[in-house]
Amino acid sequence: MSTSARFDRGHTDDLMSFLAASPSPYHAVANAAERLEKAGFRQVLETDAWDGSAGGRFVLRGGAIIAWFVPEGAPPHTPFRIVGAHTDSPNLRVKPLPDTGSYGWRQIAVEIYGGTLLNTWLDRDLGLAGRLTLRDGSHRLVNIDRALLRVPQLAVHLDRSVNTDGLKLDRQRHMQPIWGLGEPEEGDLIRFVAEEAGVGAEDITGWDLMPHAIEPPAYLGRDRELVAGPRMDNLLSVHAGTAALAAVATGSGGSTGSETTGASGAAGASGGGGSGAPSLPYIPVLAAFDHEENGSQSDTGADGPLLGTVLERSVLARGGTYEDRARAFAGTVCLSSDTGHAVHPNYAERHDPTHQPRANGGPILKVNVNMRYATDGSGRGVFAAACEKAGVPWQSFVSNNSMPCGTTIGPITAARHGIQTVDIGVAILSMHSARELCGADDPYLLANALVAFLEG
C-alpha cells in the first residue's frame, strides 16, 4: 500500500491545477492573487497611500507578489513571518525580433533563460504564454495552450555517436523552435499572438513570451504516489505559501487535514478576517519573486528593494517609526522555500552519503556552511518547531563536498534585509527539466508546515 493513501489528495490535485494554469510568472502571480482575493485579501497599489487597518493585502509587480495579513490590534513593531519563494522557472524566452527560419521552415528566435536542461525541451509539443504590453501602458496575459511549437532533435541516423558520446547541443543553433512552413515574415508571430489575445497587433509595444510544454501534470507510478509536472521549481512553493497564508488569515489553519491547505479550504474559507487571525503573534507574509533563476537582480527579484519597501510601509501605515521598523525586522523570520534534490537512484554517488532525502519523506531543511543556503542552527530550530507543531516529518539536505552547491533567495533575503532566514523546500528529481518529479504527499506536507510556521 502506498504511503500516499494516508492523505487526502485535495492539496496535490489543486497544485496540479495551479501548475497547468501558470505557464509564466505573470500567470502564477495572477492565480495566487485570485486565490487570496477569495480569502478576503485586496490588492493595494504601490502608488497609493496605504492605511494601517487590519486585514489581508497584496502588491503585484510584474512576476512578483507580496501579500500580508495584519491581525486586529497588531502594534507597529509586530515581527513578520515570511514564506519566500520564486515564480520563474528555467525555460526558453522569445527574442525581440522573433521571426526567423531557413530552408522552408518558419522558426521562432528564443533565448535561454536560466540553467535549463536543454535536452528536455526537444521533441515536446509546446504552447506559448506570457505578458503583452500595450500602447496605453497596460498589460494583457496570453496563454496559447496547444501544440504550436517544437524543437526537433536530429535523427540518430545523422548523429550516430549521440548514444555513445552524448548529446551536444549548441544553445544558439539547436534550440530554435519550428512553428510552420514557408519563409519568415517580420511581425508574423506578434500578429498571431495579438489575434489570440484579442488585441490589435499595432497596440502591442512589448512582450515577455515563453514556450511551455502543454502536457498536463499527472500522477505517476503503480500507486500514484508521485507527481510529474512542469515548473515545480518553484511554483510548488508559491502554491503552498499561498494556500498557507490564506488558511492562516481566515482562521482555517491549525491541523494537517486537507481543509488546511487545499484551495477548497484555504482560499475558499470565509474571507476577510477569520476567527483565528486576531490572536496571531506575527504578521504572516508571502513573498514570491521573479528572476531567481538568473540571480534575482531586478525590481521584481529578491535582490531588489520590493520586500523591504512593502514591510516598511506596513509598519509606517500603522503609525510606526524607524525604531518600530528595526524592532519588527529584528524579530522577523523568513522560510525561503525552494525545491531541492531527492536522492537519485541512478546517480546516488552524486549525493552526500549521509543526507539523502526521499520522496514523500516530508519537506527538507537545506544546509550549506558556506552560506549558499542561509540556514544555521537557530533556523533549524524554527523549522523543526513548525514541523513538530504540524505533525509533519522533515529531512535534511547537504550537498556532496565534491560538488558545488546551488543557492536560493535565502542568502539574498538574509543579507539584504538583515532578517533571519532558513532554507527549506521539497525534494524533487529532474530539477530544471521541462518536466519535474516529486512525491505526491510532499506538497501537502510542506503547506501544513508553512501554516504552523506562519501561525507562530
pLDDT at res. 257: 41
pLDDT in tens, 183-241: 999 999 999 999 999 999 999 999 999 999 999 999 999 999 999 999 999 999 999 99
pLDDT of residue 279: 74
pLDDT at residue 110 is higher than 80: yes
pLDDT at 273: 41
- pLDDT tens for residues 116-147? 999 999 999 999 999 999 999 999 999 999 99
Give dist(CA 33, CA 152) in Å, integer.
37
Tally the C-alpha atoms within 13 A of residue 276's C-alpha that lie toward its C-beta: 22
Whether pLDDT at 302 is above 60: yes
Which amino acid, residue 124?
R
Instruction: Enumerate the β-bridge partners of residue 404.
Output: none
pLDDT value for 253: 63
- Whether residue 427 contacts residue 369, with contact meaning beta carbons closer than 8 Å, is answered with no
Residue written as cell 526537444?
122
Give residue 81's pLDDT band: very low, low, confident or very high (50, 70, 90): very high
398-417 tens-digit pLDDT: 999 999 999 999 999 999 99
Mean pLDDT of 338-360: 96
So what's the pLDDT on residue 270?
Answer: 30
Mean pLDDT of the chain: 93
Strand order in the sheet with 364-366: 42-43, 55-61, 64-70, 283-289, 80-86, 333-337, 420-425, 364-366, 395-397
Of the pLDDT bands very low, low, confident and very high (cuts 50, 70, 90), residue 179 is very high
Rounded Cα distance, 43 and 254, in Å: 26
pLDDT at 7: 66
> How far apart are alpha carbons 29 and 291 in whole angstroms?
13
Measured from the Cβ of residue 111, the count of other Cβ atoms closer than 10 Å reads: 13
Task: Compute CA distances 446 → 78, 173, 303, 362, 435, whole Å.
Answer: 25, 40, 25, 7, 20
Q: What is the mean pLDDT of residues 158-174?
A: 94
Mean pLDDT of 424-435: 98
* Grid cell at residue 23: 505557464
Give the per-residue pLDDT at 9: 87
Q: 2-58: per-residue pLDDT in tens?
A: 444 456 689 999 999 999 999 999 999 999 999 999 999 999 999 999 999 999 999
Model pLDDT, residue 274:
42
- Read off the C-alpha cell for 254: 491549525
CB 178 within 8 A of CB 106: yes
Higher pLDDT, 421 or 268: 421
259-291: pLDDT as tens digits: 444 433 333 323 334 444 447 899 999 999 999
pLDDT of amino acid 238: 98
